[in-house]
Structure formats: C-alpha cells, structure tokens
Structure 1
Amino acid sequence: MKTTASTNLDLTIQRAIRASDLPSRQQLVRWIRAVGNGPAVLTLRFVDAEEGRATNASWRGRDYATNVLSFAYETEPVLMGDLMLCWPVVRKEAAEQGKSVEEHTAHLVVHGLLHLCGHDHEEGEAQAEEMESIEREVMARLGYADPYADEH
C-alpha cells in the first residue's frame, strides 16, 4: 500500500485490529505531509491494547499500553521508521480530553513523526517546549486546536 512515487512517500498501513473509525490513508498522508515533504518510508500500525502493552514493555520497559510508539531507523537522506498507535488508548484519551478521535489521532501522528525526526520531550524542558511548539504550529496548519491548551 503505497502512495504515488511523486510524493516521495512510501507508506504502509497495518491494521492489526478491526475498527470502523480508523483514519483513512488520505488523512494519514495529509498529517504526515504537514510535518514535512522530504522522502520517507513509513509504516503506521494500529494495534489493540494487548499488543500495545507487550511492545511498550519489550522496548521501553513500561508494562502498559501507551498511545503511540515511534521506532526510527534512518533520518537522512530518507526518513525511515515505524509508528504504532494503540487504538483503545487513543480512543480513551480523546474522550477524556474532550477531543474528537480524528483530532487526537492527528496529534499523535504528528507527535510520533517528530520523534522519528529526532525530537524528544523527555531530555529536558527546553526540548519539550520546542517539540510542543512545532506540534502546535503543525496542528494549527491542519486546522486543529492547540493540543496542549488544557494542559498548562
């Protein structure tokens, strides 16, 4: 499952769960391209809580399902990586935060892609603020609200 060669985006979408509200390929490409237009080879995998928990425990030593995990392989000359979104967690967080599932998913894709590009929010306050600033800018360009508006 790939986009046309002219976009320089090789996108594989894996749906390891059945859900009628998963984002469309068109939405995912739009969110990805809002972060950057450089060449990329990406896999986005939508999983259940069991797989999300097992992967988080295996790779990060955290025994719970988290919203998004990023696995970067290359950043230059082509961005290569995987994003795993745990769909039950995404849905739950959207409801808790009073956001649509679409808007919350867009934010998590943007957030995960920034990790693939080398950004981090766990290495210090300045880096966290820089990453959040980029996320706010990208989300605004996409027509969504500030994803951190109620957190600060």
Structure 2
Amino acid sequence: MAALHCDGSLTADRAAYGGLMHNNMGVPILAYVGKGVEASVLSMELLAIHRGLSLCLEKDIHSVSIRSDSKLAVDILMGSITCPWSVYVLKCQIGALLHHLSHKEFRHVWRELNQPEDFIASINNGDGEAIIHPLEFPEDLMRLIHDDASKKTYFRPP
C-alpha cells in the first residue's frame, strides 16, 4: 500500500497545498506542490488530498493510505462529521476518486509527523503546480524524509 501524506498551507499572502507519495517500503515516489486560490486552510488540505489521489491514479496506484495532519479533513472524508458547504464540491470530487481505489484508509497524523509535507507545501513555485521527483528533492526535504524513515522521536511542547 502506498502512503500519501498531504498538507495545506495558508499564510497572509499565499494559499498552497503539497504532498509526498511513497511506496510501502517508504521510498519516495514523488512530491507535488501547487498554489491554491481559496483563502481557507480546509480547502487547501482537501485540495492536497484531491491532487495526491489524482496522481496516485495516474501512476496506477490503487491501494493508498491517505495521511493528513488535518483532523477536520480526515473526519469529513470518513463521513464522521458534516462537510461545510464551502468545500462540498471538493469533497464530492475526492469521493469520486476514492471509488477508483481497491483499498484505502484515512489516518490523522500529528503535525510533527507531517514535517516533510509541510516543507513541500511551503515551496513557492509561482502560480502553477510542480511535480518533484526524488532526484530533484531539496537537501532539507531529504533530511526530513530521512528523519521520518529512521523513526526520529518528536516531542510536543507542553
């Protein structure tokens, strides 16, 4: 099962999304980053999931563990809470993509465990979207991925 780690980012001057896809051995397949237009972090979180699922299907990956540090986005997609109208269309588009998967799971992960994706979503690539392959990953991203693979312990402040 491939893992798809997703993240949305919202700052005073930029809305963005990003994610990292890796295989069941933890080897990165690709990263993606794009600029959003909605000034809503929930929209960016869901857009990151939508784009990541689209890329999985383009790569013929049909068994995916979707991981996000947005508990709200995970709860909406699992159907445990009602979706706000502002993101209803995006939720439906994600649902349509999910029907193409043979196996799927949703996991909420703590922000500390989503650092590579947070880094990716913060990359300013202008107004478009960029697909980044592992040989093109910045050194800082490789360090964060290595920390995750080596099971580095993160401590949450009290």
Please say whether Structure 1 and Structure 2 have the same fold, judged by a TM-score greater than 0.5. no
Per the normalisation by structure 2, the TM-score is 0.28
- Which of the two has greater helix per residue? 1
Structure number with higher relative contact order (C-alpha < 8 Å, ≥ 6 residues apart):
2
